[in-house]
Amino acid sequence: MLLGLIFGTALAMISFPFAFIGGPLGFVIYLVGLIPVRLLEWYITFKAFYLAAGDTAPGMKRAMWSGVVVSFLLDIPAVVGLVTATGFWIC
């Protein structure tokens, strides 16, 4: 969670203006920018918890991509909840 806050804040500061200024294309740019950030977050998570002892993880690449997909899927209810609660997208 801490990684998401750190990287998410940095990404928002850099790319959020594109989401508002560029319209739908800007939002797509923001989402595409999330892919490498989320891959890095999942890599750091796997490295910290599963590979700390020097072990190798044969399925790490696949697990990282699965984590990215799950992260995007979990964004859907969050955005729907925000839009439903406030009437507009704020986050």
Per-residue confidence (pLDDT) for residue 55, from 0 to 100 = 61
Closest CA to 72 of 19, 42, 31, 18: 31
Mean of pLDDT over the chain: 76
State the pLDDT at residue 57. Answer: 66
| Predicted confidence (pLDDT) at residue 70 exceeds the cutoff of 80 | yes
Claim: this prediction has a pTM higher than 0.75: no
